[in-house]
Amino acid sequence: MRNVGVLRSTGWAMLDSRSPGGTDENFDKEADMRVLAIGAHPDDIELGCGATLLAHVARGHEVSMLVMTTGEQGPQMARSRTHEQEDAARLLRANLYWGNFEDGAVPEGRTAVGSIEAILRETQATVVYTHASRDTHQDHRATAVATLAAARRATSVLQYESPSTIGFTPTIFVDVEGFVEGKLALLRAHASQVQRNGLVDLEAIEAQARYRGFNARLRHAEGFVCERMQFDLGVHRMTPEQELLLLNGTN
């Protein structure tokens, strides 16, 4: 599978071992990457960064999802939204955690922060995805605030967009060529939102991936606002002998 990312040095959007700069040592380190995506309701994570998570999984990264509420205020059909989220997580091959907060009343303070911290400790995630801070939905805003506090030690924190995000200007893009169909499949697992109520418009999602790709000079992309991101140039992988050689070379 070919997927050369914009952020080549970090490797997390890069699947192609033929890419310039990629070495086996780099890949070993990247294979250890642990990712936690946090969303207020079932389907929020898939909408915001589903294709990026698929790319992480394809690279062998451990991906976990934390869904703060079961979305019980939303439309309920034959199968509960809990089951739909479980199906989507299975499809994604991600671990699924629940925050068990009340739909519509996600707190942003100590309780929510503590709950996210506990999952961060358990998953040892260093890369965290969460809602954008500006959003018309109070649960999305609260989840963003709580995540930024809880993930203060994470090396990378990226915020994704959702249909209710306001004034979202992405500055970090992940190349998701080859993962858009997979993202749509993840969203189809949320049948009550997609097929029956039209709350999730798959055509719009596909167009958004293309548009974000256009923003990023790619074919398809997901865009993020960057709270913090560690840009790994891989220099620490030099052996002491190589370092010495470099130092001597500059004298």
Q: Of 229, 225, 129, 223, which Cα lies nearest the Cα of 176?
A: 223
CB of 242 to Zn ion, least distance (A): 48
* Residue nearer to Zn ion on the CB measure, 62 or 135: 135
**Which residue is nearest to Zn ion, using beta carbons?**
41
* Residue nearer to Zn ion on the CB measure, 10 or 143: 143
* Residue nearer to Zn ion on the CB measure, 40 or 94: 40
Q: How far apart are CA 35 and CA 50, in angstroms?
A: 12
CB of 40 to Zn ion, least distance (A): 5
CA-only gyration radius of the chain, Å: 19
CB of 25 to Zn ion, least distance (A): 40
- Helix H, strand E, coil C: the string for 176-219 is CCCCHHHHHHHHHCCHHHHCCCCCCCHHHHHHHHHHHHHHCCCC
CB of 207 to Zn ion, least distance (A): 20
**Burial per residue of 88-127, b for 16 or more beta-carbon CB atoms within 10 angstroms, e otherwise:** bbebbebebbbbebebeebbbeeebbebbbebbeebebbb
102 DSSP 8-state letter: P
CB of 41 to Zn ion, least distance (A): 4
Token couple for 77: 């059909």
* Residue nearer to Zn ion on the CB measure, 48 or 182: 48
CB-neighbour burial class of residue 206 (10 A; exposed 0-12, middle 13-18, buried 19+): middle
Q: How far apart are CA 198 and CA 146, in angstroms?
A: 29
Binding site for Zn ion (CB under 5 A): 40-41, 44
CB of 43 to Zn ion, least distance (A): 7
* Residue nearer to Zn ion on the CB measure, 17 or 138: 138
* Residue nearer to Zn ion on the CB measure, 40 or 174: 40
* Other Cβ atoms closer than 10 A to 164: 15
